[in-house]
Amino acid sequence: MTGDSVTGGGPRTGYAVVVPTLVRATLADCLAALTAATGPGPDEIVLVDDRPLPDADPEALEHPLSVLGDLRERTVVLRSGGRGPAAARNTGLSAVTSPWTAFLDDDVQVGPHWCDQLVQDLAEAAPDTGAVQGVIAVPLPGERRPTDWERGTAGLARAQWITADMAYRTDVLKQVGGFDERFTRAFREDADLALRVLDAGWRIRRGRRTTRHPVRPASRWASLKQQRGNADDALMLRLHGPDWWAKAVAPKGRIRRHAAITAAGAAALALTAAGRPRAAAAAGLGWAAGTAEFAWARITPGPRTRHEVTTMLITSVLIPPAATWHRLSGLWRHRNAPAWREVAA
C-alpha cells in the first residue's frame, strides 16, 4: 500500500483516518486490517487515546502501533482525557490536514480493498456531497438465533451515518463545528452531526466500501446500561425538534411504553401504601402485562437458552424505570441547551 498511488488515471483523493480508542483488545485488529487493505494509504492516521489520563498506560499502545508497519511513520497519537468519542474525534480532527477525514471505530475491521474503495468513493463524490458512508457488515452466528445483544449490534448495518466507517470533507466538519461534545457516549453524536451537515446544505451518500463490525462480548447488563442513551435522545429533541426521529431515520424505540409501565408500577406501590388494594391490583396488573409483553418481544426472536431467557426477564423488569429516569433527567439537563456552534464558539 502506498500513499503515492493514483485512482482512475488521475491524482488520488487525499484522506486522513481518525480512530478514537479506549485501547481495547480490538484496536490491534482494526489497525492490522487498515494496514493490509490494498490501495492508496491514508496521508495521516490520528489515533486518539480517550482513556482518562491517570489510566493511560502508554505501553498498552505498543502492540497496536507495531502492526501498522510502514504506516507507523504517518501516525500520530493524541490524548483527549476520557471525554467521550465525540470529543476524541474533535481532538483528532484538529490535527488533520487532508481534504477528507475518515472516521473508524476501534472495534471494526476494514475490508481487504477498503483503501481502494474509499478513494473511489471520495473521487465520485459530487461537489455538494459532504460525506460518504461505508457499508457495515455485522457477522452473526449461523448455527443459532442471535441474542438480544447480537441483534442490537446487527442493527448497525442498517443505521444511517454511523461513524464506525464515515468519511467527511474536513472543511465541512470545521464549518459545522465538528461533533457535539455534550454527547459523551457512542450514541446519537453521529446522527446529530449528520443532521447539522444536511441543514448546512450538504448531501450525504452511501459508498461501496465495506467494513466488518464483529459483535464484541458484553455482560448480561449491557442492555440496561444502554438506557443512558435516552438522555441523549432528550438532547436530540432539544436540538432538532420533535420530528428528529424522522429526520435521522431512527427507530422511535419504546420510551412511551416504558414510561407507561413505570407509571403503572409506581401507581401500584403508591396505592398499596394508601390502603387502596383494588386500585393497586389494577395498576399492578397493568405493570405486569406491560413488562411481560416487553420481555416476550425480546425473548421470542432469540436463542431461548436458560441464560438468555433469564437475562431478558431480569432486564425487562429493570429497563422501563431506567429508561424513564434517564429520559426525564436528560430533558431537565438539556432543557436550555443551545446549538453546538454557540457552545463551541
Instruction: List pLDDT tens digits, range 201-252.
Output: 999 999 999 999 999 999 999 999 999 999 999 999 999 999 999 999 998 8
- What is d(CA 131, CA 172) in angstroms, rounded to the nearest whole number? 9
- Give the pLDDT confidence score for residue 345 in this predicted structure: 65
**Is the distance from CB of 104 to CB of 29 less than 8 angstroms?**
no
Return the pLDDT at 6: 36
Confidence of residue 8 (pLDDT cuts 50, 70, 90): very low
All domains in the chain, ordered by first residue = 15-218 (3.90.550.10), 220-344 (no CATH)
Give dist(CA 173, CA 197) in Å, integer: 8
pLDDT, mean over the chain: 94
Query: Model's pTM, two decimal places?
Result: 0.92
What's the rounded Cα separation, in Å, for the pair 176 and 150?
Answer: 34
Structure confidence by residue, pLDDT tens digits, 287-336:
999 999 999 999 999 999 999 999 999 999 999 999 999 999 999 999 99
Reading the block at residue 218, the C-alpha cell is 458484553
Which pLDDT belongs to residue 3? 40
3-class secondary structure, 77: strand
